[in-house]
Amino acid sequence: MTLTASSKTWFITGASRGFGLEIARQALARGDTVAATARRPADVTAALGTHPNLLAVPLDVTNEAQATEAVQAAIARFGRIDVLVNNAGFGLLGAIEESSAADVRAQFDTNVFGLLHVTRAALPFLREQGSGHVVNLSSVAGYQSFPGFGVYSATKFAVEGLTEALAAELAPLGVFATVVEPGFFRTDFLDDRSLANTASRIGAYAATVGASRELAAGVNHRQAGDPVKLATQVLALADLPAPPLRLPLGSDTVQYVRAKNAFVEAEFAKWNAVAASTDHDDVATSR
């Protein structure tokens, strides 16, 4: 391995394709060390080749014991983890009513519980170091929910809430946490390998969920976002001395965040008096 004083060690889940692969590729290119995980680590080496700074690790994030083993393998090889990137996940397209219990459970098992398995496995080492950065990949759908993506959004809303609390808990320990919110990027996320569809289709949702299905099919591999540029920004994020809690990426995310904020402010102004009216009388009169 060829390392410098400024080199970082990355632990990246879902690193065989998409954002995870591109982040790993750029980290290696600048001389960092990378523990790149995937269900089939051979897919990582097929994409990145053999590299002295690369450790391809088998990991199904839904398997808590395997998450612990993967983190320990990275520590054994590189001695530390500076940046944990929780990238592994997949989408579900379907109305809430169309989503079976098994659909919902699979979403949460990977996107939420899997993220928690890996994070809990890594945090003792980051705490001991007194440094590090947890980067959780959310989505624009973690800030603004859309018809047909309700269950997926629920998992990403969970990631947002977890990261917000995590950042506050870790700040006194010298460890950062950031949630990254990509919009539509030109990856294979809308392919069958990354986006599951509910088996149930209910005609009453044709105008809403059906429109989302048509949009997903039509925009696939024509999305505006460039995953290479996203990875570059994630590397830059990891180098910041004071990184943000949230990093929205993509012009579409910017538009949706601004629209959501404006909607929330307008609705809050309309219902503010009602919201404030529910305190006990002794509290209300003491103001």
Which residue of the set 138, 139, 153, 205 is catalytic?
138
Structure tokens at 8: 């970082």
67 in Cβ contact with 44 (< 8 Å): no
**8/29 Cα distance (integer angstroms):** 12
Residue of 93, 30, 88 lying closest to 63 (CA atoms): 88
Residue 156 bears catalytic tag: yes
Q: How many CB atoms lie within 10 A of CB 135?
A: 23
d(Cα 38, Cα 89) in Å, to the nearest integer?
Answer: 11
Q: How far apart are CA 145 and CA 252, in angstroms?
A: 14
Annotated catalytic residue: which of 99, 156, 205, 256?
156
Q: Has 100 been annotated as catalytic?
A: no
Helix (H) or strand (E) holding 236: helix 227-239
Catalytic member of 99, 139, 143, 152: 152
Locate 232 and state its tokens: 């570059």
Residue 287: is it exposed, middle or buried by C-beta count within 10 angstroms (0-12/13-18/19+)? exposed
Q: Could you tell me whether strands 176-182 and 83-86 are parallel, antiparallel, or unpaired per DSSP bridges?
A: unpaired
Cβ atoms of 99 and 202 closer than 8 Å: no
Helix count and strand count (H, E) for the chain: 10, 9
Active site residue 8: no
The kind and range of the H/E element at 134 are strand 133-137
Catalytic residues: 138, 152, 156
